[in-house]
Chain A
Amino acid sequence: MANTPIIIASKVDYSVDVAGKPLNILRGVDLSVNPAEVVAIVGPSGSGKTSLLMLLAGLERASAGRIEVGGTDITKRDEDAMAVFRRQTLGIVFQSFHLIPSLTALDNVGLALEIARPDMKLSDVRKEAAAALDAVGLGKRLDHRPSALSGGEQQRVGLARALVTKPRLLLADEPTGNLDQKSGAVVVELMFNLARQNGTAVVMITHDAHLAERTDRRFTMEQGQLTETTGAR
């Protein structure tokens, strides 16, 4: 069971309607990611990387093919079933952080726990959220709102929020894209360490070749087709 891949995507097509005509974004994508494995997807803008991430998160539906995440076929589930799937299975880190501006760092992180574990006591939620923030070095910034945090700090809150539920899969969409090199390095380091500690698999989209080099496997997306490029130069 431990070796069963967390992601199995086979022959996935994805197209959207543009002015009444289908535009093929993904064509015959196959992807398999093992538990605790860290993979990177690189490729030019508009190649279909983000679309694949959205399909893996169950935010869009594949036009053809099958996607299984954590043993669940997510291609045929309804909206609310997908919501339950997300809260139980994965965490997401966005390029633009997407923290809720009116909530403190502690509440932003606690929110993920409250949604994922509805029966959890509020005091426990706060305790675990505080621990997650402490783990990303923000133990003293619990009551700060996003506007009082730097970009790097906001992304660390985003990371804590994504990992506080200890998901089996972390999807990261250019997590360092909006950060300077130093802040980005801190975030990446934290992300890799925490994922390893939790045994969380990571699928990360990045344009940063050095960052991609640090992952277990690398894939390249070009014109909707995904190719493994691990070890390729």
Chain B
Amino acid sequence: MRALLAAARVGLKEMAGDWARFSLLIICLAVGTALIAGVSSVSSAITRAVDQNAAMLMGGDLEFTRSDRAANASELAILEQAGTLASVVETNLGAESPTGEAFVDLVAAGPGYPLLGGVGTSDSEAMVSPFNALEERDGMFGALVDPVMLDQLGLTTGDTITIGGTEFEVRGTLTGLPDGPVRGFRLGLSTLLSTDGFAHVSDRTSPLPGLGTNFRYKLLLASGDTEAERDRLAAELGDAGWEIRSALDGLGPMLRYYELFTGFLMVVGLGSLLIGGVSVWSVMSAYIGERSGVIAVLRSLGASRWRVLVHFLVQVLALGLIGVGIGIAVGVTIGLVVLPAVGEAIGIPLARDIDLLAILVAGAVGLLTAFAFSYLPLVQAQMVSPANLFRSKGLGAPRIDWRKFLASGELLPLAIAVLLFFWLAVVLTNDLALVLAFAGSAIGAAVLMQLGSRLALIGLSKLPAARWRPLRQSLRAIIGTTRNSSAVVTAVGLAMVILVVVQVLAINLRNEFLGASVFDAPTLVASDLFPDEMQTLEASVGPEHGIELVTATPMLRGTVVSIAGKPIEDLAANGPEAAFLLSGEIPMTYRSVLPPASRLVEGQWWAADYTGPALVSLHQNLRQGLGAKIGDEVSFEIFGETVTATVGNFRDYAWQGGIDFLVAFSPGVLDNYPSTILAAVTAEDGREEEVERFLANEFIDIKFIEIGATLTRITEALSQLSLAVAAVGGIAVLNGLLILIGSLAAGRRQRESDAVLNKVLGAKRSEILVSALIQFLLLAVFAALIAIPAGIFTAWLLTQVLLNVAFAVDPATIGVVVAGLIGMTAILGATTLLRVLSIRPALLLREMSSV
């Protein structure tokens, strides 16, 4: 033990005079650890916030819905024993007043609703307990009514409104439901009753065909395991008629965007770890090479290999602890200070928090990085022979005998470290495929760099000597120090690979986010307009009423009968789109051109003047949801006739808009059937409410549904996410530059020594610098030749296994990033010689001759 402590003490003491040289290594470890801690904190905070927000938006952890009937007593008992239960009924009814009629999106709240959040209303009691606030008073139940409907019906609070033939007292306005965002696309103006009040409604006939009633039960679970409870309760209810959604299901596609962002953060974290590790390796290799004299002295004094190992391991640990400690401090700061700002930037509230697991994992990963990437230099340290001290041959880290190393027990610590590292990376990302893809690509790229650089060096050595002296000297320096050259190529190349990966992914994510955004979203939509109504609507366009644009899409209703020869009774629907397709009469359209907000996913869109056999375009989720394929025949019943069309393509569309259709026919198939129109109205900026009131008053029979504000909010959130991606990509570039500086440590002493000797022999400083500049320029260009395709391939692989987004490469951005890195490598490489070139050679010659 005393021997161990003595070895540790001497190790630390021996390093003490040399802290400055390790500052870069410490910074690299600190940045890597901080990035890991930071991205983990941010992503787990996002995940938590999404979970909490999702539960808030859903109004519970789980939601059980059926449309045929309410839950019976035994079903209620099953649900009630799992947690706190609240129920709502949703339907569409007609409402009237002495002065008008309206189409109502009716919500009836049971006791306990809402479980989370509050109702947006002018009645403060109804905010938290609408069931009680809307109870029967003086023989009449209460209602909260959309203010637009109050205008439409000429009512105010305290008046009486007739809903479904039953009179209700208007007890306040209804401006929002806490679970509104997950209720989807609803027709009509919202009105809230109590379930007791709803029980008294005498006429429950929906004013429009195809609209039903939903009985929803919201459950706030007593146990924390939502998925397990979902499975258990589904089994206990044992009835396929229940649709069960978790809070995250309810959040819909927005969740995917947050997951994309956190996935991207993880890639940046893993990337920073890898390039941080490469930097550790570069700095430690160079350090061990330079310390080979000290090692030889230790060995000549009788130090055993383990003592040499302890000597340097203690140094690595000390550096690791300092770097990781700083990184953790920054990580904690991110949790405490930066999280709310990040949350604001990406549009989701993130509370100040210290994520202990993230911090611990980041710390462990940082220390493992320090150890794993220093291990080979440490093995090299043990191989230094004191015989070198007797010879004037240059000291340097000896080559590793790989055959011997791989067959020896020395491999074991490295193998354990790599496995631990891998395990922590999986813990960190919670994604084995991602870690495998990342590790495979990184190892592949490193091997390519090594092999490629060796081959290139052999090729260069066969070339005739260059005529231009600086180029000749640069090539000589590259060829003469093969090991250093390929180390620089590997380190610089890996940094480039990671930066290319991060930039390509950032571009693709931004495309995804911005592509999903609807910048020209309509303010209101209305369905089932007749041509004359459409004409009147189009005539209203102009500044007088504040209507900027009106667009029309033909719309008719039909029922799916069979898909690929299978009657729909034999098909199992998977997912909301498939369930809706098979739910009965659904709206459909026909189109000659693909709308700008929609995107072709598979197959070909038909020509604008297509006149061939009937084709149909389906929403892409129906591929998985129903197993539909291109070429399948789908039969519909439309106005009592069977229409069969072949699936020509699958398409996706901006879900937020809800302004495209699951089913779109090619031209000429449905054109002759009577159809109505789906109208989209875009209001001038700031006049949305005015337009809404105008349309409600002008087109009393048409139900305009306001979607613009929601779309704008979502688009803003996506734009902010996109900015956040760009910001994180920028941080990765800065980190890459740091690593670049670290990677130039390889062979630095040799370069300095050569520069001094050149100076002694009469070379001018400018000549030496130009030669070094060319040397690093050539090495960096070579690294880029391998790094660019390797980085693009890795990015493509990650988009496939992790992000599942469309893949595109922006050559201009990649070109700028790589050119910048090449330039920086050349400049930084040359400037490593500035110190020795600015000191008198005599001093350096003396310094070089010491251990």
The yes or no answer to A79 lying at the interface (CB within 8 A) is: yes
Contacts of B17 in A (CB 8 A): 101-102, 145
Determine which of A59, A96, A120, A161 lies in contact with B386 in the assembled complex, contact meaning CB atoms within 8 Å. Answer: A59
The yes or no answer to A148 lying at the interface (CB within 8 A) is: no
The yes or no answer to A88 lying at the interface (CB within 8 A) is: yes
Shortest distance in angstroms between B144's beta carbon and chain A's nearest beta carbon? 79
Contacts of A102 in B (CB 8 A): 13-18
- Decide: B386 and A100 in contact? CB cutoff 8 A: no
- Decide: A98 and B389 in contact? CB cutoff 8 A: yes
The yes or no answer to A222 lying at the interface (CB within 8 A) is: no
Determine which of A116, A120, A147 lies in contact with B302 in the assembled complex, contact meaning CB atoms within 8 Å. Answer: A116
Contacts of A114 in B (CB 8 A): 3, 6-7, 10
Shortest distance in angstroms between A171's beta carbon and chain B's nearest beta carbon? 10
- Decide: B305 and A50 in contact? CB cutoff 8 A: no
Contacts of A92 in B (CB 8 A): 300, 386, 389
- Report the Cα distance A198→B7, complex, angstroms: 27
Segment 43-101 of A: residues with Cβ below 8 Å from B: 50, 53-54, 57, 59-60, 79-80, 83-88, 92, 94, 96, 98-101
- Decide: B13 and A115 in contact? CB cutoff 8 A: no
- Decide: A54 and B390 in contact? CB cutoff 8 A: yes
Given A53-B390, A83-B302, do A98 and B3 touch, yes or no (CB 8 Å)?
Answer: no
The yes or no answer to B299 lying at the interface (CB within 8 A) is: yes
- Decide: A86 and B849 in contact? CB cutoff 8 A: no
The yes or no answer to A118 lying at the interface (CB within 8 A) is: yes
Shortest distance in angstroms between A70's beta carbon and chain B's nearest beta carbon? 13
Segment 144-164 of A: residues with Cβ below 8 Å from B: 145-147, 161
0/1 string, B779-800, CB within 8 A of A gives 1: 0000000000000000000000
Given A54-B387, A57-B300, A60-B387, do A80 and B6 touch, yes or no (CB 8 Å)?
Answer: no
- Taking A59-B387, A92-B300 as known contacts, 8 extra A-B pairs with beta carbons closer than 8 A to each other, sorted by chain A number, are A59-B386, A59-B390, A80-B305, A86-B301, A96-B849, A107-B13, A115-B302, A147-B850
Determine which of B302, B306, B391, B851 lies in contact with A99 in the assembled complex, contact meaning CB atoms within 8 Å. Answer: B851
Given A98-B293, A98-B851, A122-B6, do A50 and B301 touch, yes or no (CB 8 Å)?
Answer: no
Contacts of A79 in B (CB 8 A): 305
The yes or no answer to B218 lying at the interface (CB within 8 A) is: no
- Decide: A118 and B2 in contact? CB cutoff 8 A: yes
The yes or no answer to B557 lying at the interface (CB within 8 A) is: no
- Decide: B304 and A80 in contact? CB cutoff 8 A: yes
- Report the Cα distance A99→B849, complex, angstroms: 11
Contacts of A101 in B (CB 8 A): 17, 850-851
Shortest distance in angstroms between A175's beta carbon and chain B's nearest beta carbon? 12
| Subset of 27 A-B contacts with CB under 8 Å | A59-B385, A59-B386, A59-B390, A79-B305, A80-B305, A83-B299, A83-B303, A86-B302, A87-B301, A92-B300, A94-B390, A98-B297, A99-B851, A100-B297, A101-B17, A101-B850, A102-B15, A103-B14, A111-B301, A112-B302, A114-B7, A114-B10, A115-B301, A115-B307, A118-B2, A145-B17, A147-B850
The yes or no answer to A173 lying at the interface (CB within 8 A) is: yes
- Report the Cα distance A87→B391, complex, angstroms: 21
Contacts of A119 in B (CB 8 A): 2-3
- Decide: A112 and B390 in contact? CB cutoff 8 A: no
Contacts of B3 in A (CB 8 A): 114, 118-119
- Decide: A100 and B387 in contact? CB cutoff 8 A: no
Contacts of A125 in B (CB 8 A): 6
Contacts of A161 in B (CB 8 A): 301
Given A59-B385, A94-B389, A96-B849, do A103 and B13 touch, yes or no (CB 8 Å)?
Answer: yes
Contacts of B303 in A (CB 8 A): 83, 87, 115
Shortest distance in angstroms between A153's beta carbon and chain B's nearest beta carbon? 14
- Report the Cα distance A59→B391, complex, angstroms: 12
- Report the Cα distance A80→B386, complex, angstroms: 13
Shortest distance in angstroms between B697's beta carbon and chain A's nearest beta carbon? 87
The yes or no answer to B348 lying at the interface (CB within 8 A) is: no
The 10 A-B residue pairs with the shortest CB-CB distance in the complex, in nearest-first order:
A87-B302, A118-B3, A102-B17, A86-B302, A59-B387, A114-B6, A83-B304, A80-B304, A112-B301, A50-B390
- Report the Cα distance A124→B162, complex, angstroms: 101
Task: Kindly report which residue of chain B lies nearest to residue A79, judged by CB atoms.
Answer: B305
0/1 string, A114-134, CB within 8 A of B gives 1: 111011111001000000000
- Decide: B301 and A100 in contact? CB cutoff 8 A: no
0/1 string, B480-508, CB within 8 A of A gives 1: 00000000000000000000000000000
Residue in B10, B297, B302 with the greatest tally of chain A CB atoms within 10 Å: B302
- Decide: A100 and B305 in contact? CB cutoff 8 A: no
- Report the Cα distance A62→B849, complex, angstroms: 29
The yes or no answer to B432 lying at the interface (CB within 8 A) is: no
Task: Kindly report which residue of chain A lies nearest to residue B6, judged by CB atoms.
Answer: A114
- Report the Cα distance A115→B3, complex, angstroms: 8
- Report the Cα distance A107→B297, complex, angstroms: 13
Task: Kindly report which residue of chain A lies nearest to residue B851, judged by CB atoms.
Answer: A98
Residue in B9, B16, B387 with the greatest tally of chain A CB atoms within 10 Å: B387
Shortest distance in angstroms between A40's beta carbon and chain B's nearest beta carbon? 17
- Report the Cα distance A114→B7, complex, angstroms: 8
- Decide: B391 and A50 in contact? CB cutoff 8 A: yes
Shortest distance in angstroms between B397's beta carbon and chain A's nearest beta carbon? 17
Determine which of B18, B301, B385, B849 lies in contact with A116 in the assembled complex, contact meaning CB atoms within 8 Å. Answer: B301
Task: Kindly report which residue of chain B lies nearest to residue A154, judged by CB atoms.
Answer: B850
Contacts of B338 in A (CB 8 A): none
Contacts of A57 in B (CB 8 A): 300, 386
Contacts of B851 in A (CB 8 A): 98-101
The yes or no answer to B296 lying at the interface (CB within 8 A) is: yes
Contacts of A100 in B (CB 8 A): 14, 294, 297, 851
Shortest distance in angstroms between B394's beta carbon and chain A's nearest beta carbon? 13
Contacts of B16 in A (CB 8 A): 102
- Report the Cα distance A44→B82, complex, angstroms: 95
The yes or no answer to B298 lying at the interface (CB within 8 A) is: yes
Contacts of A147 in B (CB 8 A): 850
Residue in A87, A98, A101, A103 with the greatest tally of chain B CB atoms within 10 Å: A98
Contacts of A107 in B (CB 8 A): 10, 13
Contacts of A94 in B (CB 8 A): 300, 389-390
Shortest distance in angstroms between B701's beta carbon and chain A's nearest beta carbon? 90
- Report the Cα distance A208→B385, complex, angstroms: 28
Residue in B2, B305, B389 with the greatest tally of chain A CB atoms within 10 Å: B389
Residue in B6, B300, B385, B386 with the greatest tally of chain A CB atoms within 10 Å: B300
Shortest distance in angstroms between A172's beta carbon and chain B's nearest beta carbon? 11
Shortest distance in angstroms between B758's beta carbon and chain A's nearest beta carbon? 24
- Report the Cα distance A92→B387, complex, angstroms: 11
Shortest distance in angstroms between B485's beta carbon and chain A's nearest beta carbon? 23
- Decide: A115 and B298 in contact? CB cutoff 8 A: yes
- Decide: A84 and B304 in contact? CB cutoff 8 A: yes
Contacts of B294 in A (CB 8 A): 100
Shortest distance in angstroms between B843's beta carbon and chain A's nearest beta carbon? 11
- Report the Cα distance A101→B14, complex, angstroms: 8
- Report the Cα distance A115→B300, complex, angstroms: 10
- Report the Cα distance A100→B292, complex, angstroms: 11
Shortest distance in angstroms between B308's beta carbon and chain A's nearest beta carbon? 9
Contacts of A96 in B (CB 8 A): 389, 849
Contacts of A54 in B (CB 8 A): 387, 390
- Report the Cα distance A102→B297, complex, angstroms: 13
Contacts of B301 in A (CB 8 A): 86-87, 111-112, 115-116, 161
Contacts of A121 in B (CB 8 A): 2
Shortest distance in angstroms between A149's beta carbon and chain B's nearest beta carbon? 11
- Report the Cα distance A94→B299, complex, angstroms: 13
Segment 167-190 of A: residues with Cβ below 8 Å from B: 173
- Report the Cα distance A101→B9, complex, angstroms: 16
- Report the Cα distance A30→B300, complex, angstroms: 24
Segment 397-425 of B: residues with Cβ below 8 Å from A: none
- Report the Cα distance A115→B311, complex, angstroms: 12
Contacts of B389 in A (CB 8 A): 92, 94, 96, 98
0/1 string, B1-38, CB within 8 A of A gives 1: 01100110110011111100000000000000000000
- Report the Cα distance A83→B302, complex, angstroms: 4
- Report the Cα distance A111→B13, complex, angstroms: 11
